[in-house]
Chain A
Amino acid sequence: MLENILTGFANSFIPINFLLIIAGLIGGIIIGALPGLTATMGVALMVPITFAMNPISGLIMLGAIYSGAIYGGSNSAILINTPGTPSSVATTFDGWPMTKQGNAAGALNASLFASAFGGVIGTLFLLFLAAPMAQLALKFGAPEFFWLCIFGLSTIAAMVPGNVVKGLMSGGLGMLISTIGLDPLEGARRFTFGAYSLVQGIEVIPAMIGLFSFSQVIVLVGSNNKFIADYKAKKGAAMLVAKTLLKSAKANLMRSSIIGTFVGILPGAGGEIAGIISYNEAKRWDKNKANFGKGAIEGVVASEAANNATIGGSLIPMLTLGIPGSAVAAVIMGALLAHGIQPGFKIFANNAELAYSFIVSLIVVNIVMVFVGVHLIKGTAKVLNVPTSYIGVAIVALSVIGSYTIRNSIVDVMVMIFFGLVGYFGGRVGFDTGAMALGIILGPIAEDNLSRSISLAGAEGSVFKVFFTHPISLLLIILTLISVLTPLLMAKYRAKKEAVANDKA
């Protein structure tokens, strides 16, 4: 194995492969940063080009694009409050406030370092623990998925403290919207009002672009600020952030990366869920909870470390079992199959050089990403020096193009505009766009797995057995209870303390 790992490093540094890593990263970061162009699309577009390459170079390039795109999504999340890919939803929670406070450079660098760190940890799991992790992924059935979604949704309670009711309403509305279209069990039409264009349901990405970017444009246009936020390039910002992270965010980085890897191995749960869960956990374990949502660098770190860690995670079941852990992993598997390479445990024996070179190259990719990213950040941050009137037009153009390209459908553009208005006016009456996005993302997965669990319960003859006896389910239920009850108990505890303090006074 050591020999294979060394060969992997050697292959990564062959000039053509190294060049592909840099090109893949730059391309990936740009694709990721543009709202609507997702990692899946970026990787899929490049698959046909890999047909003409040797498989190792092809895979190395696809890995670089994948990593770059997942990281790149944070750039627009931080600078214009628009997740470039769904994975970066949780990055907006603190990244955008940091930008508004004039600390865009801090947020951008933090997201870069965290992404690279998460990416490396995820890859190390893939390299050394692929077999046990793959077995764990298989233990995750429909009930477990259902509880994972409920756990993710419980974040809403913690996300909008003081306004839990509006948060829950936003989340509930999001889930309700996600039921439009064909139901997962019987294929019956719901809430389509006879319009065939609604049969396919509301696509998540246009809805998110609307909720986050388009509504943001309306806010920008309505404000009298000439620029989005103050920004002056400072020398040594990257070093400063690196030092801060090393000093105070080690546990957060590690925890988020591990959460990301675990969520990554599950087919059907990706970077967005990993980011949200890690964000919530970072908040739970942090001493200064109140800072979260107001520009806490820890929030950016948690979300970004987690979503890049999902990359290594998602490749584990793909390489070992032929079950892709994410849509991008599925595309990469397509590329493998097109080269006549069958995934499965024997890939590590029959195609050892290819498998190990691909995995090891991901470590190289993440390290190179830091150097590429640091330079790109200097350019991307200049967005803040462009007057909002131009930025607004640019975001609208990108939002329209991005929504349209998801499946070349004008319906998605209308969906995007609709959700832009929902986001803008909803925001004015205290609706929480983050909670609504959570509902839209998690709703369908929760419903799908709930209905499947009920089918299974029918065969088992016991609903209780299916939902409440599996160990992983129990763990998730306990975590959910803790997540929901902590803010309540904390509030009571604080009130009591204050009361005691008042009594003494």
Chain B
Amino acid sequence: MKKNNILVKIVGMVLVLALTLTGCGQKTATVEKEKYPIKPLNMIIAFTAGGSSDIQARLMQKYWNKYVPEQPWVFNYTTGAGGAIGFGAIAKAQPDGYTLGGVNVPHMILQPMAQDAQFSIDDFEYISQVVTDPQVLAVHKDSKYKTWKEAIDYAKANPNKLKVGIVGTFTGHHMMLLDLKDRLGIEVTQVVYKGAADQNAALLGKEIDLMIGNVNDVMRSIENMSILGIAAEKRNAFLPDVPTLKESGLDLISDIRRGFVVPKGTDPEKVKFLRDSFKKIQEDPEYLADMKKAGQPTDNMSGEEFDKYVHAQQEYNKKLLTKFGLIK
């Protein structure tokens, strides 16, 4: 009898499990109707709640509700593998216009190229670009290097002695470092950190001599850093005194961008509706003011342009990685 009891308990538990598992995995098919949207939109964010991507999307949501009051966004955080899991989830979603999500460049280009991520940049319809966060070269405020050229000169004279911090491999930082090495012919010691927080701490603790960081991240510890150059076309509103690399003789543009996409094959009418709605949001002065307040470097680009940009970047990164033998 006792044995039976245990068996019953185990079977019960397996049933509960099975029900839960299938419940989570199911996808609901929807019948398409002319009116759009008729139900809430699923917004996939590939990074944790409360992070920079999330905050930006939530700011946007506020204005989506203003321009498209009929249906809200439902946030879905599908995180992991530096965003690749979430990007893959967007690519694989039903192209019914009810799933959209945030993507990051160059992440979405590098992950399929170097890490076998389960999507490609051709799996999406591009809605719009919202943010560009340029990369900068930063040193400790007490550093002996006053310009980026001084640091590079040291690296030229002393191969592998300059310690340069980057966040992650096959990331925007990594690409910029490769590009620097390629153009300037320098050899440096590459020190890889898990996140911007560890990297900032390492620079402040003088574990590294120079770091490649993003404006958004260095702004948090700006009191203790000096920024030697910014890899952008124009000077940045958050760092007006920092010269661009271009001004000082190095034509290098490197940044992280964020935008929104829907899965490939979404009805063109719906794509157009989303592109138009996003355009309205992105031109709203209140939205722009909110973005500035939150420290989000706004850089608006239409879906069509964003699409072209991503494909152009694909070529650039492919060349660079092939040159350094990091991909075949």
Contact = CB atoms under 8 A, between A and B. Distances in A.
Nearest to B224: A321
Interface string B8-29: 0110110011001100110000
Given A141-B205, A185-B192, A404 B24 contact: yes
B270 interface: no
Interface in B150-199: 160-163, 168-170, 189-194, 197-198
Contact of A409 (B78, B115, B168, B190): B78
Contacts of B201: 137-138, 140, 267, 317, 321, 323
Contacts of B12: 393
Nearest to B58: A48
Nearest to A408: B78
Contacts of A323: 197, 200-201, 204, 220-221
Interface string B120-142: 00000000000000000000000
Given A185-B169, A321-B221, A400-B21, A452 B192 contact: yes
A396 B163 contact: no
B40 interface: no
B50 A456 contact: no
B314 interface: no
Contacts of B220: 322-323, 333, 337, 342-344
Which secondary structure dominates where chain A touches chain B?
helix
A184 B191 CA distance: 10
B49 interface: yes
Contacts of B197: 267, 323-324, 330
Contacts of B9: 221, 389, 392
B168 A187 contact: yes
A321 B204 contact: yes
Nearest to A222: B6
Contacts of A47: 49-50, 55
B169 A187 contact: yes
Contacts of B52: 334
A464 interface: no
Contact of B200 (A186, A222, A321, A339): A321
A182 interface: yes
Contacts of B16: 393, 396-397
A452 B202 CA distance: 11
B219 to A, nearest CB: 7
Interface string A394-408: 001100110010011
A346 interface: yes
B115 A189 contact: yes
> Which of A199, A335, A404 gathers most chain B CB within 10 Å?
A199
A199 B115 contact: yes
Contacts of B168: 187
Given A187-B170, A459-B162, A334 B51 contact: yes
B136 to A, nearest CB: 15
Interface residues of A, number: 70
B2 interface: yes
Nearest to B111: A199
Contacts of B116: 189, 196, 199
B24 A217 contact: no
A41 interface: yes
Given A187-B170, A397-B20, A44 B204 contact: no
Contacts, number: 173
A334 B162 CA distance: 32
Interface in B283-322: 293-295
A268 B197 CA distance: 9
B117 A196 contact: yes
A401 B191 contact: no
A463 to B, nearest CB: 14
A200 B80 contact: yes
Interface in A315-336: 317, 321-324, 330-331, 333-335
A138 B117 CA distance: 35
A386 interface: no
Nearest to B116: A196
B62 to A, nearest CB: 9
A14 interface: no
B34 interface: no
B294 A44 contact: no
B208 to A, nearest CB: 8
Given A141-B207, A199-B81, A407-B79, A221 B118 contact: no
15 contacts: A45-B49, A187-B115, A189-B115, A189-B116, A200-B81, A221-B6, A221-B13, A267-B197, A321-B201, A322-B220, A330-B197, A342-B222, A345-B223, A408-B76, A459-B189
Interface of A: 40-41, 43-45, 47-48, 51, 137-142, 182, 184-187, 189, 196, 199-200, 203, 217, 221-222, 224, 267-268, 317, 321-324, 330-331, 333-335, 337-340, 342-346, 389, 392-393, 396-397, 400-401, 404, 407-410, 413, 417, 448, 451-452, 455-456, 458-459
Given A139-B205, A334-B55, A407-B85, 20 more contacts: A40-B48, A44-B49, A185-B169, A200-B81, A224-B2, A321-B204, A331-B48, A331-B50, A333-B220, A337-B55, A340-B295, A342-B219, A346-B223, A408-B77, A408-B79, A409-B85, A410-B21, A417-B17, A455-B189, A458-B160
